[in-house]
Structures are given as C-alpha cells and as structure tokens.
Amino acid sequence: MVQPKSIAHIPQLIPMQKIFSLLLFTPLLFLTPSCAKKTVAVGDDGVDWAAKARQYRDDPASLRLFTEQCQENEMKLLAVQRELMELRNERSTTNQAVTNAQSQAAQVQQQRQALENEVAQLRQYTQTSQGELTQLRQQTQTLGVENAQLKQQLATMAASQRNDQVDTDEAVVQGVVFQVQLGAYVKNTLNPELATENALELQDQNGMQKVVVSQFRTYSNAAYLRDRLKQMGVKDAFVVAKNNGQRVTIPEALQMTGQN
C-alpha cells in the first residue's frame, strides 16, 4: 500500500518553517481578490473551502503549486492591466491624432475652397479682361482704319490745295480767289517788306493792316486752312474773297465760280 507523503519527505520543495507559515495564512489566501473570491467556508458555488484548506495542509506540494499558480496569475493579471493601460493610452493618443487630423483636414478643405474661389474669380477676371482686350483690339483696328482714311483724306486735300493754290508774282490775280485773313491790326503791324504776295499779303485799309495768307480757287480749301489755323490758336482767322483783285463777298464769289 502506498504511504501518503509526509512533510519530512519533501524538504527539497519548501522549507518546513515556510510550510507552517503558509498553513497559518492559508485561509487568508482564499480571502484575497486574486486567488479567492469568497470569504465563507462553503461558497455559493458549492466549494468547501475548509476541506480545501485541510487538503493543502496535508499536501504541501499542492499548496505550493497553488500558490505559484496564484502568483503567476497575479503577474499575468498585472501584465494584462499594464497592457490594457497602454492600449488605453494608445487609444487616447490615437483619438487625439484623429482629432488633429480632422482639424487639419477641415483647414485644408477651407484653404482649398478659398483657392477654388480665388481661381474662379481669376477666371472671371481673365474672361472679362479678354473681352475688354478684344474690344480694345477691335477699337484699335477701327481707329487704325479711320486714321488711315483720315491720312488719305488729308493727303487728298493737301494735294488738292497744292493744285488749287495760286502761285504768282503778280500783285493782282485774275479771277476769283479765296484767301484766309488772320486778322486786322492797328498796332503791332508787320513790316510791309515781309509780304510775299500769294504766301503772305499785307493789306492797308483805313490805317489798319490786314494779314492775309494763301490764295485758293476753291472755298473749301480756304475754309480748311482757316479751321486748321483756328485749331493752332489763330482764333480770328476767316475766309475772304477777291475777284480780279477786288474784295467781294463770299456768296458772290461762290456764285461767280459756281461753287454754291
């Protein structure tokens, strides 16, 4: 028959003094939260903890194994608690990172919206500018055409004036001529020697000097010269007419030449 193991048979496992200490504090071990959840001898689960205590008292090896398992479980529990705490910290850090990322995403979205609005405004401005530029180009082309036409008209009129202008050394020009009188002056008169007949004529009448320039066969050319002189500052310029050296009225000269 196999003899039960006694305390003397396991000195290599646990010292005797520690075994007695464990036996004395065994009930307390079952009252701790980590190794036992019940404080009564028989728990609600039907376990007879008093019998368990007697069993461990008779079998120190089992008690040692149970104690080591409890310690190991406590270490595992602490490790799990630490891991849980780390996970909670990581979750908190992750949540903060997510919040920051969401805030940054909102800012980026606002910046993007602002840029899109600016781009839309620039496009609208560009379209408007292009429209204005097109109009300016069209106006420039129109002005260029008008300018060319005016130049052509001026050239034609200048040629007509040259053909129409009477160049002669005679004091009296036969026929009807139109001249432009710059003014009539009593003081600050010009030296009569400056007169060049057809180009510049100085006429004295009743103590008044009349300054007359150019001689044309047509009234329109004389009127054009008068208008140009007025634009240049000669405000008193006007057209006069002569027939065979004698002053006649403009309507008479026009009737004589058939220009009316």
Task: Give a yes or no: residue 229 inside a domain.
Answer: yes
What pLDDT was estimated at residue 110? Answer: 93
Q: Do you know the residue count of the chain? A: 260
Give the gyration radius of the chain's Cα atoms: 64
pLDDT tens-place string over residues 85-106: 999 999 999 999 999 999 999 9
The rounded distance, in Å, linking the Cα atoms of 39 and 235 is: 130
Task: Give a yes or no: residue 190 inside a domain.
Answer: yes
pLDDT tens-place string over residues 7-45: 343 334 444 444 444 444 444 444 444 444 444 566 676
Q: How many domains does the chain have?
A: 1
To which residue do tokens 């009129």 refer?
Answer: 157
Exposed, middle or buried: residue 161 (CB in 10 Å: 0-12, 13-18, 19+)? middle
Domain that holds residue 210: 166-257
Task: Give a yes or no: residue 144 inside a domain.
Answer: no
Task: Give a yes or no: residue 89 inside a domain.
Answer: no
Ranges under pLDDT 70 in the chain: 1-43, 45, 153-154, 156-172, 184-207, 209
Task: Give a yes or no: residue 245 inside a domain.
Answer: yes
What pLDDT was estimated at residue 25? Answer: 46
The whole-chain average pLDDT of the chain stands at 75
What pLDDT was estimated at residue 172? Answer: 63
Task: Give a yes or no: residue 192 inside a domain.
Answer: yes
Hey, what are 183's tokens? 């003014």
Amino acid at 152: Q
What pLDDT was estimated at residue 184? Answer: 67
| Residue 214: partners with Cβ closer than 8 Å, 6 or more residues away | 165, 179, 180, 198, 199, 222, 225
Task: Give a yes or no: residue 62 inside a domain.
Answer: no
CATH number for the domain harbouring residue 198: 3.30.70.1070
Query: CA neighbours within 13 Å on the CB side: how many for 244?
Result: 1
Secondary structure (3-state) at 17: helix
